[in-house]
């Protein structure tokens, strides 16, 4: 996050910040994107197409075009099994769901929707795809999640998950993006659709119980018996998101001592506290957005929240308040690789290049191989499917791991199991996850980690995204010789989309934002807060010199 914190940060959202839902939905239907304007075109980032209807970036035309592009991709790729369709609680998700279903039904796609027309978390869609496809060679399923993740209430999102259950890779998203933009340019000529009422009654649209199968399977990935037997007191805040109707069935089935602290669903998200920049954002890794649950930390042995599509987690401990996401990843890895005895003995630890190097040290202590990949959970899908990765995690509080028997659970991030894992750790270790982290890392040093944003033009972001490491001319980082300048991830050789610079006791990575005129600096020191500030200062100075030379 940036260093300039808004005065409203951590305070209840004032009325003037609340989105006018009626106007937002009217704008979704009434405004038409101009494909000659870059910001109004379909653009798939690491998590699909996102934007606000108010900015003419997420409107009916976008969704109709993207849905038809998905239908064409499926046909070309030979994907002819069911498509699992889910949505979250953002105001734009319901109309986008309707638009997508109109197209899917018109194209004869066998589409599975929630039987109650309810909300479906991202990991539940991934779980459904993988469960259906298990043992099949033909007729494979895929899915769509309509959600902008933790983004503000005026935004919408559309993500495609192919037959591997994880986020689509760049080849697929580029094909969908290009086809969708061609439809926009032709004013939707070639897009097939039928009215929503007919689509719901179409013989190719089927109602499905998403909640039951996912909830029943949880005991195969988390030790629910241990959680129940321990009586560990758990607090859960869905932050008004798609997991809201999953927690009571979980509590009831497994008879765990858990309390849902807020079960409200409101598209204005008026119950949120304001994030660092003065916006409402359902970011469960932000102490400002998590103010209410943090204030309850002494009422529970462990508490957690999920973002709006429940693919992220935020862990609150009595000993620390909101746990640093990197610390929890390291703690989860230490616990899982010690306690999951049926996993492959050579199953590796997966992390992104911008995640804490404490994970490297924990993996080394465990004697496990580390696989370091670019940002994006799609890079973990293959390893989770074949069991060569036991765990994949991102610094942005997203992760998933294998079933207890070593088989794949999800290939997308699963915030529900990461929250339940925190309860399992507390139950089995008799310490909250933060105290467990301190125990695990006592001999591994102390991490000082932060992500900040710095301004950058579109041209500068493009330059940074394709940077030649030789153009970064610094020889030292915070007084230490630079050991490595990386533009490709060590784990798979894929481009980072920026640069990572490593010295003995610290590192930084710089990557352009896909949606804002900033670049992100991820930095870590194993010496001190002051050393971290020096790293950040040297990082910005070095990147500025790169920008100034062009």
Q: Could you give the residue numbers annotated as active site?
A: 149
Size (the chain), residues: 550
- Pair 284, 305: CB distance under 8 Å: yes
**Beta 448-455 vs 518-525: how paired, if at all?**
antiparallel
CB atoms within 10 A of CB 448: 19
| φ, ψ dihedrals at 306, nearest 5° | -125, 155
Question: Rounded CA gap, 170 and 160, in Å?
Answer: 11
CA pair distance 82, 205, nearest whole angstrom: 9
Closest CA to 233 of 186, 286, 302: 302
CB 453 within 8 A of CB 519: yes
- Residue 421: CB partners within 8 Å, gap ≥ 6? 222, 332, 335, 336, 401
Q: Which residues pair with 142 in a beta bridge?
A: 83
Dihedral over alpha carbons 508, 513, 516, 517 (to 10 degrees): 60
| Residue 178, CA atoms < 13 Å, CB-side half-sphere | 7
CB atoms within 10 A of CB 91: 23
Cα–Cα distance, 165 to 207 (Å, whole number):
20
CA distance 517 to 459: 10
Q: Please compute, for residue 229, the number of CA atoms within 13 A of its CA located in the half-sphere on the CB side.
A: 8
Q: How far apart are CA 171 and CA 112, in angstroms?
A: 25
Rounded Cα gap, residues 256 and 518, in angstroms: 44
What distance in Å separates the CA atoms of residue 259 and residue 236, rounded to the nearest whole number?
A: 6
CA pair distance 522, 499, nearest whole angstrom:
10
- DSSP type of residue 12: B
Place of tokens 């209807």: 53
Query: Residue 308's closest CA among 44, 117, 142, 86?
Result: 86
């Amino acid at each position: 996050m940036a260093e300039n914190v808004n005065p409203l940060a951590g305070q209840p959202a004032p009325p003037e910040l609340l989105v006018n839902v009626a106007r937002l939905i009217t704008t979704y239907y009434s405004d038409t994107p101009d494909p000659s304007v870059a910001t109004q075109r379909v653009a798939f980032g690491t998590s699909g197409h996102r934007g606000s209807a108010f900015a003419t970036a997420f409107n009916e035309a976008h969704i109709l075009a993207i849905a038809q592009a998905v239908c064409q991709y499926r046909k070309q790729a030979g994907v002819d099994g069911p498509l699992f369709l889910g949505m979250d609680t953002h105001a734009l998700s319901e109309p986008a769901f309707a638009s997508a279903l109109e197209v899917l039904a018109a194209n004869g796609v066998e589409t599975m929707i929630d039987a109650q027309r309810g909300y479906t978390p991202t990991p539940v869609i991934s779980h459904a795809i993988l469960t259906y496809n298990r043992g099949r060679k033909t007729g494979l399923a895929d899915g769509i999640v309509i959600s902008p993740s933790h983004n503000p209430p005026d935004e919408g999102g559309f993500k495609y998950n192919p037959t591997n259950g994880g986020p689509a890779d760049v080849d697929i998203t580029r094909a969908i993006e290009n086809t969708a933009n061609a439809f926009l340019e032709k004013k939707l000529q070639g897009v097939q659709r039928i009215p929503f009422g007919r689509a719901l009654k179409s013989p190719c649209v089927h109602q499905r119980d998403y909640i039951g199968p996912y909830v029943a399977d949880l005991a195969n990935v988390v030790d629910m018996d241990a959680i129940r037997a321990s009586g560990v007191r758990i607090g859960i805040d869905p932050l008004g998101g798609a997991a809201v109707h999953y927690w009571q069935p979980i509590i009831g089935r497994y008879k765990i001592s858990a309390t849902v602290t807020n079960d409200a669903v409101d598209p204005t998200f008026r119950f949120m506290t304001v994030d660092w920049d003065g916006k409402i954002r359902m970011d469960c890794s932000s102490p400002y957005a998590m103010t209410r649950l943090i204030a309850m930390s002494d009422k529970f042995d462990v508490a957690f929240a999920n973002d709006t599509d429940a693919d992220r987690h935020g862990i609150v401990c009595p000993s620390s308040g909101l746990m640093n996401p990197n610390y929890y990843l390291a703690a989860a890895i230490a616990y899982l690789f010690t306690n999951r005895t049926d996993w492959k003995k050579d199953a590796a630890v997966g992390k992104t290049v911008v995640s804490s190097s404490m994970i490297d040290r924990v993996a080394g202590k465990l004697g496990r191989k580390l696989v370091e990949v670019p940002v994006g959970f799609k890079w973990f899908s293959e390893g989770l499917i074949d069991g060569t990765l036991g765990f994949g995690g991102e610094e942005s509080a997203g992760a998933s791991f294998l079933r207890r028997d070593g088989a794949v659970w999800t290939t997308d991030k699963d915030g529900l199991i990461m929250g339940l894992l925190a309860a399992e750790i507390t139950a089995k270790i008799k310490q909250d996850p933060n105290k467990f982290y301190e125990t695990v890392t006592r001999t591994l040093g102390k991490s000082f980690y932060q992500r900040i944003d710095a301004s950058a033009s579109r041209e500068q972001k493009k330059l940074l995204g394709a940077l030649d490491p030789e153009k970064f001319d610094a020889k030292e980082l915070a007084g230490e010789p630079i050991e490595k300048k990386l533009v490709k991830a060590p784990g798979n050789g894929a481009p980072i989309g920026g640069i990572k610079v490593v010295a003995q006791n610290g590192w930084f990575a710089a990557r352009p934002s896909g949606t804002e005129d900033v670049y992100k600096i991820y930095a870590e020191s194993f010496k001190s807060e002051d050393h971290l500030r020096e790293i950040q200062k040297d990082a910005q100075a070095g990147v500025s010199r790169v920008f100034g030379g062009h």
